Amino acid sequence: MNRSLLWGAGLVALLIIVAIAWYLGSPLFINRQVDEAFPVEIPSRDAIENMSAEELKALEEQFEAALPSEAELAAMPQAQREEMEKKAMEFITMMPEKVTDEAMPTTGSSAPQLILQGDFQDADSFHQGSGKALIYSLPDGALVLRLENFQVTNGPDLHVLLATGSPHPADNEELGEYLDLGSLKGNIGNQNYDLPAGIDVNLYRSVVIYCKPFHVVFATAALE
């Protein structure tokens, strides 16, 4: 074979090998910087303080609707997900506290019977909670979870869960099986949550205040 042809074929093969090596190895040493804007324009604190109740509600609904789905968050690089959570918490801290004060539900002349109870404790130094979680059986047989003297750090899309896992779950994996009782009505104050008929409340070990979009535990109450 002509030596020049041999050298040419060798050079082509070498270039192919280098190209493949670059394609496979480049993600290991090439940074991909991402700086996407938060999906909702966050007003200034002064603007939020001057909003009416209806405007605040509309802003919060717009904010929660714009949050990425669980699948989208899971697909994000960790740094981007953490930055999204940070911006979400900055927005929430500017919003007014959500206060509710519901009376204890009563039916008939008999008093509700306390079945299980627990004291809320902080999930960590930033996500803090206090007050009592009380599960009652009402005279008509209905079950209700009542939060009394309750307060928790405000956050995006907080839900109330009954969980079967750890008495004080620190993360999503420690929740075990859980029953979602819906959105938290307020981050401050007394409130009631109806439980489904026929459930065995003794299967549940804790009440958890949980941020669904970011899978973050805000506060827990071990049930006894």
Strand partners, 143: 137
- Residue 32: pLDDT above 70? no
Place of tokens 């071990």: 222
| Nearest of 105, 101, 90 to residue 131 by alpha carbon | 101
The confidence score (pLDDT) of residue 28 equals 47
The confidence score (pLDDT) of residue 82 equals 82
Judged by average pLDDT, the poorest of 39-48, 189-198, 209-218 is 39-48
* 41, HSE (Cβ side, Cα atoms, 13 Å): 2
Distance of alpha carbon 5 from alpha carbon 1, whole angstroms: 7
| Nearest of 89, 8, 76 to residue 42 by alpha carbon | 89
Strands 158-163 and 143-152: unpaired
The confidence score (pLDDT) of residue 64 equals 79
Distance of alpha carbon 35 from alpha carbon 133, whole angstroms: 41
Residue 202 token pair = 């003794």
What is this structure's pTM? 0.76
| Nearest of 187, 183, 201 to residue 144 by alpha carbon | 201
Instruction: Spell out the domains of the chain, with CATH numbers in brackets.
Output: 45-94 (no CATH), 113-222 (2.60.40.200)
The confidence score (pLDDT) of residue 41 equals 75
| Nearest of 211, 193, 194 to residue 147 by alpha carbon | 193
The confidence score (pLDDT) of residue 129 equals 97
SS3 per residue for 56-115: HHHHHHHHHHHCCCHHHHHHCCHHHHHHHHHHHHHHHHHCCCCECCCCCCCCCCCCCEEE
Judged by average pLDDT, the poorest of 92-96, 111-115, 201-205 is 92-96
